[in-house]
Amino acid sequence: MKKTVRDVKVEAKRVLVRVDFNVPLAEGKVTDDTRIRAALPTINYLLEHGAKVILMSHLGRPKGKVVDKLRLSAVPERLAELLGRPVRKLDDCVGRKVEAAVAEMRRGDVILLENTRFHPEEESNDPVYARELASLADIFVNDAFGAAHRAHASTVGVAEYLPSVAGFLMEKEITFLGKALAAPDHPFVAILGGAKISSKIGLIDNLLTKVDGLLIGGGMANTFLKAQGHEIGQSLVEDDSLDVARETLERAGERLALPVDVVVADRFDAEADSKVVPVGQVPEDWRILDIGPETVELFKRKLAGAKTVVWNGPMGVFEFPRFAEGTFAIARFLADLEATTIIGGGDVVAAVGQAGVADRIAHVSTGGGASLEFLEGNPLPAVAALEDK
């Protein structure tokens, strides 16, 4: 177990907190504050215990240059509303002006530094840049699980120079995902979707050593169906992953369930003509865009007795309403299931939100790439950098 913010004395200390404020923006406003809200428990704890709070985050991919539209300027207004106190935003994250602003801080003050990725040294984990960031504070708290798979200066480098502990969001992520992998309650069922097998080979390999059932939908199911000899029309398929699919089918045996019917469309379009057909009866010029109703019922039966469920990747092109029902039906079913339900990956997190059931899922992971890496069994550099209890 890693030390958390509870394990250090923060009163009157300058606490540098790596948060994940990589939020969507439109016309200078935050359009989805989920990631800001996720950081509130840690920030509020520090403020209640008399700390001086210095927040740092990346936003987008500026590639080491100052990009005006990727400034964090929209964040402090929303954060201040949620905290009920002012948040001071600085125009850089290192340098004399930043040092002067931090030197003036009193207990209960909150400062937000500018986008850490405006400096090319961030992504290269440059030790000089990391030391500059660390010099602003007495303690480092990492609460940015969404960036935990990145060995950057603000996630890993600063931990070399300061006492370093996990925030509450980081702790929650590690606890839920860690238990799912190390000691899940059985039956343990995984649901995998999304476009490609190739991006999830490591995940499939790791899960097959642990799960009692593996349900596969989304675009990646097409490659499995083709590997079984089914005609899939114009559907998305990875021909260079057919051997991997055959191998997986052999290894998994009866534990693996694939769609038995699918929703097909005459083109990739929200307004496309659509119909439900059994797998193997996909018309030559049509493409699979969702799992069908019989598949939904099959997957529900496979999930019915589960005690742990991990879901990564949607069941279809849920961005188009008429191809969203497979994903939404599974989401609604999991919301009512008496099990530890864990959802990871940006697309499926968005889908569960749209289905209106996110608050009835045991754990919705804030880290797409990080949760994928974790579930693959790979160590996360930013977690490894934190102090052990």
H-state helical runs in the chain: 34-48, 75-83, 96-103, 120-123, 127-134, 168-182, 201-208, 218-227, 242-252, 293-303, 325-335, 346-354, 368-375, 381-384
| Inter-CA distances, 74 with 78, 91, 145, Å | 7, 13, 22
Average pLDDT over residues 274-291: 96
Q: What is the DSSP secondary-structure string of 329-351?
A: HHHHHHHT-SSEEEEESHHHHHH
Give the span between the Cα atoms of 386 and 165, in whole angstroms.
Answer: 5
For residue 367, report the phi and psi dihedrals to the nearest 5 degrees: -115, 110
Share of the chain above pLDDT 90, in %: 85
Give the pLDDT of residue 346: 66
Strands 256-257 and 261-265: unpaired
Q: Could you tell me the sign of the dihedral formed by the alpha carbons of 340, 346, 349, 351, in that order?
A: negative
Average pLDDT over residues 194-217: 91
What letter does residue 304 receive in the DSSP assignment? T
337-370 pLDDT, tens digit each: 999 999 987 688 889 989 999 999 999 888 878 8
Give the pLDDT of residue 350: 86
Residues contacting residue 63 through CB under 8 Å, at least 6 positions apart: 117, 120
CB atoms within 10 A of CB 155: 28
Architecture of domain 5-171: 3-Layer(aba) Sandwich (3.40)
Question: Please, which pLDDT band fits residue 388 given cuts at 50, 70 and 90?
Answer: very high
SS3 of 232, please?
Answer: coil
Q: Active-site residue numbers? A: 35, 196, 346, 369
pLDDT, the chain, mean: 95
Reduced DSSP (H G I as helix, E B as strand, rest coil) percent helix, strand, coil of the chain, to 5:
40, 15, 40
Single-letter residue type at 377: G
According to CATH, the topology of domain 184-375 is Rossmann fold (3.40.50)
Where, residue-wise, is CATH 3.40.50.1260 in the chain?
A: 5-171, 184-375
237-246 pLDDT, tens digit each: 999 999 999 9
Whole-model pTM: value is: 0.87
Give the span between the Cα atoms of 173 and 118, in whole angstroms.
Answer: 27
Q: Which two tokens stand for residue 371?
A: 């949760």
Give the pLDDT of residue 221: 96
